[in-house]
Structure 1
Amino acid sequence: MTKSITTDELAKRVVNREETLILDVRNTDEFDDWKIEGDSVEIINEPYFNLLDGVDAIADNVNKDQEIIVVCAKGGSSKMVRDLLEEEGFTHAYDLEGGMKAWSEHLEPVKIADLNDGGSLYQFVRLGKGCLSYMVVSDKKAAVVDANRMTGIYERFAEEKGVSIEHTIDTHLHADHISGGRQLAENTGGTYHLPDKDAEEVTFDYASLEEGTDITVGNTTIQVQPIYSPGHTIGSTSLMIDNKYLLTGDILFVKSIGRPDLAGKAEDWVGDLRETLYSRYKELSDDLIVLPAHYSFVDELGNDGSVKARLGDLYQRNSGLQVEDAQDFRKMVTENLPPQPNEHDNIRQTNMGKMNPEAEKQREMEIGPNRCAVHG
């Protein structure tokens, strides 16, 4: 009987809100920065070196017949701690294969809706990093939006659905994770789309993503309509799908709004951000379902594991949309911001094609939470 569980198995538990006890044996500073979270997840942090001479440090918090999943950075230390727990009589101790590094890369697909003429919309939830990407499927064709670098996941999913990927789209130049959009387009023979204003320094060819130039998926009525919505970046472009769903990229989230500072242009882009959120989006239907590119809090996950909200409801309850005074808004999005994403500048350079780190380096660059939001 295996004493390890996969990230896929753990993700299903998190999404299904199953009671789960985790022992995280990384150093406390690493744990405090970034951890596995879920509505029904209980987590204990006890650094590995505190357990080498025995498990007394956690004995008061865990019953020996309780299931416990041990997690470390890469999957090595957790196996040793699991064995120590077994020796001490913990009969249901498991380790997470690949540790937090593997958890960071797991994508959990969730169906959002059926679209016109038999089309479908899927959201891919990157539970370990809060990234959200999308696949629009129609008439045996697909478009992928804001793809993560783990392109094989999208390719396998498309194969399972019997569709070919003909478009990949980035709503903006990402700074928190390495985009898989260009690589996925190369792998599948598709077209990679990026907003011109975010592409001034890129080193590769792309198709312009611009308002007024819709993208058709398949030969059906599924239209992807770009809507210019700057503020997080100067090129940020939202996507309206099927006149029902608004993919907001990193401009608007369920409980927060996008930050304008990741390219060092906070003061320049504040006005754009406010214009998008307080004017441009206000002109759209309240009944649009907002589908962002990230989430920050585990309680943003719905009962089905998806992250979404009605636009009109966000204008009622998202504190980032409640700041009437323009100067107060400017202060909120430029002062006392959370730390910027790890290696955000190198990630931007990679997404421009100016750097091409080895795969292992790319994994290291992305470790940690996304930190793309401003919380009012």
Structure 2
Amino acid sequence: MGIKAMKAGEVAKKVINKQKLFIIDVRNNDAYADWKIEGEGITSINRPYFDLLDGVEELVKELPEDKEVLVVCAKEGSSKFVAEELSEATGKDYYYLEGGMKTWSEHLEPIKLGDLENGGSVYQFVRLGKGCLSYMIVSGDEGAMVDPLRLTDQYEAFAKELGIKVLHMFDTHLHADHISGGRRLAEKTGGTYYLPPKDAGEVTFKYEPLEDGKEVIFGDDQVKVKAVYTPGHTIGSTSLIVNDTYLFTGDILFLDSIGRPDLAGLAEDWVGDLRESLYVRYKNMNQDLLVLPAHFAKLKELDETGRVVARLGDLYKENNGLQVEDEGEFRQMVTENLPPQPNSYKEIRQTNMGKVTPDSEEETEMEIGPNRCAVS
């Protein structure tokens, strides 16, 4: 008997498959209240590490007999200590989260969305610890990324498994809640980084303008990526339509909510653009397009296989953010229901412009916490 490491990927599969797991989170109360591991099969309690230094006898009484028990902390060390104390006290096995919540925040779970009709396929990378979604589109032996995160090693490893080279990187907008990996991937692979020019006024690097109507056709399967200008979350926000099948909406439209227009401090200016994109541009599109957003807020947005995807026409029936026909009421809803700003969003924007270059530890700290790109 003793302690065992549980990897973030193992926890991700348990969350997606709704498997039972009991979690003891030994971070401070405020960290736990802000952000924790959640799921239909997950039960968690918060018992700060410093409260357990005098013994775990009281904690033992709270633990279930019929579930695996995982101890979680910020970076691993405290959870190993508590797991060891529990094992010594009970003679049973306990798990600790390898790498702590830092690793959970950075894990990407790849899930196949489907094959394209004329060849090619699309994969969704679900970042359960942050609510971020990014995508890999495969065409022959070439790949394209949509809204890639800074965690480029995971994309490169997956591309290697598939035997492809990723040469096209698309950001739907200048992100404010996470650091983009688009430019980094392009530099590594010799590929092209596409960014909407209206969001790129202050960037310090070269990029390929992602302008309204631009088409990129790539790979042996001739997969077509078409840009459609849909401002509102940012002034440059641009959606992508792939093979007239998938609609990549970035942070304009989510499955259960809509994008917030205030992360550049211009909510009043951009709310009209947001409404125009949601209530006119998208309504004029093929309603059978499958919506693929850049974020999700709640686990209920994941289907039984862990995918986050919905038919555009269905969202006009089910998404509350698309039901407000009165313009004044819409403006009020959007500007008065904004959640707290994402952690370090100003610094993240500066990083994505190339103005600052934080080290890897600073990048991790900047991104810790839940995603907050939606109107509440």
TM alignment of 1:1-376, pairs within 5 A? 3-63=4-64, 66-89=67-90, 91-375=92-376
2:216–2:225 contact (8 Å) kept in structure 1: yes
Q: Secondary structure at the match of 2:324?
A: coil
> Residues 65 and 246 of structure 1: is their aligned pair in 2 closer, same or farther, counting only changes over 3 Å?
closer
Can you list the C-alpha shifts for 1:53-81, whole angstroms capped at 9, x where unaligned? Answer: 22244334213564200000111100000
Cα deviation 1:255-282 (Å, max 9, x = unaligned): 0000000000100000000000011100
- For 1:365, what is the secondary structure of its paired residue? helix
Q: Give the Cα separation in 2 of the matches to 1:64 and 1:117.
A: 52
User: Is residue 177–residue 342 contact of structure 2 (8 Å, CA) maintained in 1?
Assistant: yes
Question: Residues 233 and 53 from structure 1, CA distance in 2 versus in 1: closer, same or farther, beyond 3 angstroms?
Answer: same
CA distance in 2, matches of 1:15, 1:163: 27
1:109 corresponds to which letter in structure 2? P
Could you give the per-residue CA deviations for residues 97-139 of structure 1, whole angstroms, max 9, x where no partner exists?
1111110000000000101343110000001000000000011
> SS of the residue aligned with 1:78?
helix
Instruction: Tell me if structure 2 keeps the 8 A contact 1:141–1:166.
Output: yes
Distance 1:256 1:65, change over 3 A: closer
CA distance in 1, matches of 2:67, 2:93: 6
Conservation of the 8 A alpha-carbon contact between 2:133 and 2:294: yes
CA distance in 2, matches of 1:341, 1:90: 43
Q: Normalising by structure 2, what TM-score?
A: 0.97
Question: Is the Cα–Cα contact under 8 Å of residues 256 and 318 in structure 1 kept in the other structure?
Answer: yes
Q: Which secondary structure does the structure 2 equivalent of 1:3 belong to?
A: strand
* Aligned mates of 2:91, 2:342 — CA distance in 1: 38
- Contact conserved, 1:65 with 1:91, CA < 8 A, in 2? no
After superposing the two structures, state which structure 1 stretch, 340-349 or 18-27, moved more. Answer: 18-27
Identity between Structure 1 and Structure 2 (%): 61
The RMSD of aligned alpha carbons is 1.2
**How many residues align structurally?**
375
CA gap of 1:90–1:194, structure 2 versus 1, over 3 A, is: farther
Deviation of the 1:2 alpha carbon: 6.1
Structure 1, unmatched stretches of 5+, are none
Task: Kindly state the Cα deviation for residue 180 of structure 1 after the two structures are TM-superposed.
Answer: 0.4
Give ranges in structure 2 of 5+ residues lacking alignment.
none
In 1: Cα distance, 2:61 partner to 2:326 partner? 51
